Structure 1
Amino acid sequence: MSEAKYPVKRGGEYDFDIDKLAFGGAGIARVDNYVVFIKDTLPGDKVKARITRRKPSFAEARLLEIIKPSPMRQHPPCKYHQWCGGCTWQNLSYENQVKIKRQLVEESIQHIAGIQKSTVCPVIESDSAFAYRNKMEFSFTDKRWLLPEELGKADIKPGFALGLHVPGTFDKIIKIDHCLLQSDTANRILRSVSDFCMGKKLQAYGLKTHQGLLRFLVIRQSRYNGKIMVNIVTAYEEENILKQLALKLTEEFPEVESVVNNINSRPAQIARGEREIVLAGKSYIQEKLGDFIFNISANSFFQTNSAQAEKMYKKVLEFSELSGKEFVWDLYCGTGTFSLFLAAQAKKITGFDVEASAIQDAAENARNHQVFNAGFIEGDLLHTLASVKEKPDVIITDPPRAGMHEKVVRLILSASPRRLVYISCNPATLARDLNILSEQYAIDKVQPLDMFPQTYHIETIVQLTKRSVDFVR
């Protein structure tokens, strides 16, 4: 597009009316059908913004001023809302959040998949809009990033801090003493750890110097019994001082059942260690979903909203419509939670995953729960699906955010199960894959489920049934 044809200039400042939100949370404005994305805006806002990026089909702009706020706007309850990237939709009521999430799913299926007739069910809402997370990860820093109101205050030092990242940065950490997404007990533990480390003058790991002990604090809490695991991730071993911290936590908080130290000596800034030391109590806590009790260790993957996860598993079981005679494939099976939920109503389940550790955990979970009709295969789906002799009657697929590789989608079509259940955390890649699957499958039900209130993220469960005749567009 030539310079003259662009409706906006790079660096130009314009007034915009925000029509709706895109998946990702940015507001959408239009200038003669040319789309402009503006973060930190809501439908109904009238704003002034500066164009920062321009492409032939869209532009991005930075919010300068809210000229007239949307009627949807509310005061966010968290004092860190403007600076922390954890929950950007706190300025929307929960009622409006779920309405917009349903619209995002509907629009993706209509515009990307090209499927106009599918009905998207009302969102299955979270029982709790706050304090729903069973896991929170906080970062230590040796260079605290100060909020505007903190600048120039003599009692606030820019050094050590424990908190969360400023959005879009890896090295800017704001000090957090209370997060609304975790329980009050977890917040008290957060403050206790911070006070202990500052009192003992322990050094936070520097991202530039690669010096210092403390890297992450991870707090996990079971919805099943309220028990808590505290995982302190360090750059090297310092068992004596950390055992003092573990003793303090177990004496101060009876809910703390496990304190562990993961040691990550590598430069990569991840909250996972090469080895682990149990400082106090057990090496795991337990969580219950349905009739199943799972041991959750420090590095285990587990859905972070336990209550919603249980609703999701039950909905997948409902959409599978099993009679006890079916062979089921569970793609991207992880630790096998879907397989366990479905096993009692299927003849045989085979789970597939590329991660060896996940397959090992899945097999162990099946043994622990005496599930004998589930087996698990490690490897790339492009190679492993062909190794199974029994053709599936039902396929469950729960791919990562990027969706399925097109060749995997084609393998599913070749396997020709009578029913598919697709679980997705990204409406756009879901719609892309549905566009291909709809060649042979009809979409029966589309069920959004809100796993992460206060954010734009949405899970979607789709039931598809094999057509008697292939669909011609």
Structure 2
Amino acid sequence: MQCDYFDAHQCRSCALMGVSYAVQLADKQRHCAAMLSAVAPEVSWLDAFASPESGFRNKAKLVVGGEQGAVTLGILDASGRGVDLRDCGLYEPGLHELVPRLADLVDELGLEPYDVPSRRGELKHLIVTHSPAGAVMLRFVVRSQKQLALLRSRLTVVRERVPEAAVVSVNLQPEHKAVLEGDTELVLTDAHVLPMEVNGITLGLRPNSFFQTNTVVAAGLYRQAQQWFSSVQPRQVLDLYCGVGGFALHAAVLGDGGPAEVVGIEVSPEAVASAEHTAEALRAHRRGMPPTTFRVGDATDVAALDLLEAGSLVVVNPPRRGIGSDLAGWLEVSGAAHVVYSSCNVESLARDLALLPTYTARSARLFDMFPQTRHHEVMVLLERVGSQQHSAATESRS
């Protein structure tokens, strides 16, 4: 991938820019395998799931800088001034073409960029999510409600300039610190949900819902998990840190041989509302779908919920810090025959696997969510030692 911004030292976020993609992928695979070698000596590594080298990001987190009528969209430099990256090659088609139009829109509306050094101004960020169907969620992150009335009154202009914007909202972030968004979200459009189709399942994203930034690789991640679900045929699937329900819903649509019950736990009420929205839509069109429920809660408190049946499968997709000793301890004494662990940090994954001695890592796969960087996603299928549910079919069907 060629990037003029990188070559000009305007943006160095993509630390592996200039390294051939084949080398990037091989290096990540070697690093992850080495990190897990001591705690998962018998694991079988599947071929890495590659991403497009460029044009893969479905989400743009754009810092607004510059001056009123001459804004920059991109990042801040070391002095806190805006660096314009509106032609960044990471954004997928559709989103890439939209970013320059958003800069023009901000200028046309007369929105005042927030100036970090002087702590003056209003508009801090634009957060844009692009769906495979071409629809967009557009979020204006502002310092206060001063420009809320302006945005409400000019919503028609926003929709005319960005006709693909299905959801438009204002997020209030009043603090002067490196925080992308605040707790208060005000949706300006009638629609509150962005449809995001993945493997034939239309996930409903709300403004504060988390979704992987690489749709192609996320789809591959969910397909792999679904194959593992099918191969071990659990009685129940419990999806912790479930977000908008990607793993849980892929289990729920398996049909014959799928689980009899699916439960998702997530701390974000917005994400749970999104997951419930999708599950309700699926029930209307899929007969025989098992009971599928989502609950607001902290995944680390799941032991108190007494949800798990013997012979079940637990999915964990934690933040970078991993699941930690409490949740690992609960898994150790639970009835879960299998665990699918999806991790964005192989170091914390290795620590957690060491806390799960009654499980054996059977299969693992690298998913390259973030080309041009050293970041990675690794998913591992764990089986409880002595479980009678595992068979050689696990690998052959993966």
TM-superposed deviation, 1:292: 1.6
2:343 aligned residue: 424
TM-superposed deviation, 1:79: 1.2
Unaligned runs of 5+ residues in structure 1 are: 1-75, 145-156
1:378 aligned residue: 296
**Residues 75, 83 of structure 2: 8 Å contact kept:** yes
Q: Please give the alpha-carbon distance, in whole angstroms, between the structure 2 residues aligned to 1:121 and 1:137.
A: 32
Which of these residues, 435, 446, 453, is aligned with residue 371 of structure 2? 453
Question: SS state of the match for residue 369, structure 1?
Answer: helix
- What's the CA shift string for 1:148-192, capped at 9, x where partnerless? xxxxxxxxx9x95322245xx693531222111114543443223
1:120 aligns with 2:60: no
Aligned length: 373
2:392 aligned residue: none
TM-superposed deviation, 1:359: 3.2
2:393 aligned residue: none
Instruction: Provide closer, same or farther for how the CA distance between residues 376 and 191 of structure 1 changes in structure 2, counting only shifts above 3 A.
Output: closer
2:30 aligned residue: 103
Written as runs of structure 1 = structure 2, the 5 A alignment for 1:182-193 is 182-183=91-92, 185-193=94-102
1:468 aligned residue: 386
1:90 aligns with 2:22: no
**Residues 142, 203 of structure 1: 8 Å contact kept:** no
Q: Please give the alpha-carbon distance, in whole angstroms, between the structure 1 residues aligned to 2:94 and 2:292.
A: 38
1:259 aligns with 2:168: yes
- What's the CA shift string for 1:273-308, capped at 9, x where partnerless? 613142x67444311112321222332211211121
1:78 aligned residue: 3
Normalising by the residue count of structure 1, what TM-score does the alignment of the two structures yield? 0.71
| Sequence identity (%) | 23
Q: Please give the alpha-carbon distance, in whole angstroms, between the structure 2 residues aligned to 1:170 and 1:449.
A: 35
Q: Please give the alpha-carbon distance, in whole angstroms, between the structure 2 residues aligned to 1:275 and 1:315.
A: 34
1:304 aligns with 2:222: no
Which of these residues, 323, 328, 332, is aligned with residue 409 of structure 1? 328
Q: Please give the alpha-carbon distance, in whole angstroms, between the structure 1 residues aligned to 2:96 and 2:139.
A: 14
TM-superposed deviation, 1:234: 2.0
1:293 aligned residue: 202
TM-superposed deviation, 1:143: 8.1
Q: Please give the alpha-carbon distance, in whole angstroms, between the structure 2 residues aligned to 1:185 and 1:115.
A: 41
TM-superposed deviation, 1:265: 3.5
TM-superposed deviation, 1:88: 2.0
**Residues 111, 147 of structure 2: 8 Å contact kept:** no
Instruction: Provide closer, same or farther for how the CA distance between residues 228 and 464 of structure 1 changes in structure 2, counting only shifts above 3 A.
Output: same
The residue identity in structure 1 corresponding to 2:25 is: V
TM-superposed deviation, 1:354: 3.1
TM-superposed deviation, 1:77: 0.9
**Residues 196, 245 of structure 1: 8 Å contact kept:** no
1:395 aligned residue: 314
Written as runs of structure 1 = structure 2, the 5 A alignment for 1:188-203 is 188-198=97-107, 202-203=111-112
1:130 aligns with 2:57: no
Instruction: Provide closer, same or farther for how the CA distance between residues 440 and 206 of structure 1 changes in structure 2, counting only shifts above 3 A.
Output: same
TM-superposed deviation, 1:373: 1.2
Q: Please give the alpha-carbon distance, in whole angstroms, between the structure 2 residues aligned to 1:440 and 1:88.
A: 38
259-268 vs 128-137, which moves further: 259-268
TM-superposed deviation, 1:376: 3.1
187-196 vs 403-412, which moves further: 187-196
TM-superposed deviation, 1:445: 0.8
**Residues 272, 299 of structure 1: 8 Å contact kept:** no
Instruction: Provide closer, same or farther for how the CA distance between residues 356 and 258 of structure 1 changes in structure 2, counting only shifts above 3 A.
Output: closer
Written as runs of structure 1 = structure 2, the 5 A alignment for 1:184-223 is 185-198=94-107, 202-223=111-132
**Residues 233, 273 of structure 1: 8 Å contact kept:** no
Question: SS state of the match for residue 64, structure 2?
Answer: strand
Q: Please give the alpha-carbon distance, in whole angstroms, between the structure 2 residues aligned to 1:343 and 1:200.
A: 45
1:232 aligns with 2:140: yes
Q: Please give the alpha-carbon distance, in whole angstroms, between the structure 1 residues aligned to 2:43 and 2:368.
A: 19
Q: Please give the alpha-carbon distance, in whole angstroms, between the structure 2 residues aligned to 1:185 and 1:80.
A: 20
Give the superposed CA RMSD: 3.0
The residue identity in structure 2 corresponding to 1:394 is: L
2:261 aligned residue: 348
The residue identity in structure 2 corresponding to 1:466 is: R
Q: Please give the alpha-carbon distance, in whole angstroms, between the structure 1 residues aligned to 2:139 and 2:267.
A: 26
Which of these residues, 269, 272, 279, is aligned with residue 366 of structure 1? 279
The residue identity in structure 2 corresponding to 1:288 is: E
- What's the CA shift string for 1:61-90, capped at 9, x where partnerless? xxxxxxxxxxxxxxx511112332442222
Q: Please give the alpha-carbon distance, in whole angstroms, between the structure 1 residues aligned to 2:54 and 2:307.
A: 46
**Residues 426, 459 of structure 1: 8 Å contact kept:** yes
- What's the CA shift string for 1:352-390, capped at 9, x where partnerless? 233344334333332232255123343334433243254
**Residues 205, 274 of structure 2: 8 Å contact kept:** no
Normalising by the residue count of structure 2, what TM-score does the alignment of the two structures yield? 0.83
TM-superposed deviation, 1:443: 1.6
Q: Please give the alpha-carbon distance, in whole angstroms, between the structure 1 residues aligned to 2:239 and 2:167.
A: 32
The residue identity in structure 2 corresponding to 1:135 is: K
| Greater RCO structure (CA 8 Å; 6+ sep) | 2
Q: Please give the alpha-carbon distance, in whole angstroms, between the structure 1 residues aligned to 2:134 and 2:307.
A: 44
Q: Please give the alpha-carbon distance, in whole angstroms, between the structure 2 residues aligned to 1:264 and 1:376.
A: 28
Which of these residues, 235, 242, 247, is aligned with residue 333 of structure 1? 242
Written as runs of structure 1 = structure 2, the 5 A alignment for 1:268-287 is 268=177, 269-272=179-182, 274-278=184-188, 282-287=191-196
Unaligned runs of 5+ residues in structure 2 are: 284-288, 388-398
Whose Rg is larger?
A: 1
**Residues 377, 384 of structure 1: 8 Å contact kept:** no
- What's the CA shift string for 1:193-220, capped at 9, x where partnerless? 3234446654211335443121111222
Q: Please give the alpha-carbon distance, in whole angstroms, between the structure 2 residues aligned to 1:247 and 1:357.
A: 26
Q: Please give the alpha-carbon distance, in whole angstroms, between the structure 2 residues aligned to 1:325 and 1:202.
A: 53
- What's the CA shift string for 1:238-291, capped at 9, x where partnerless? 25654686545544454344433333344454234613142x674443111123
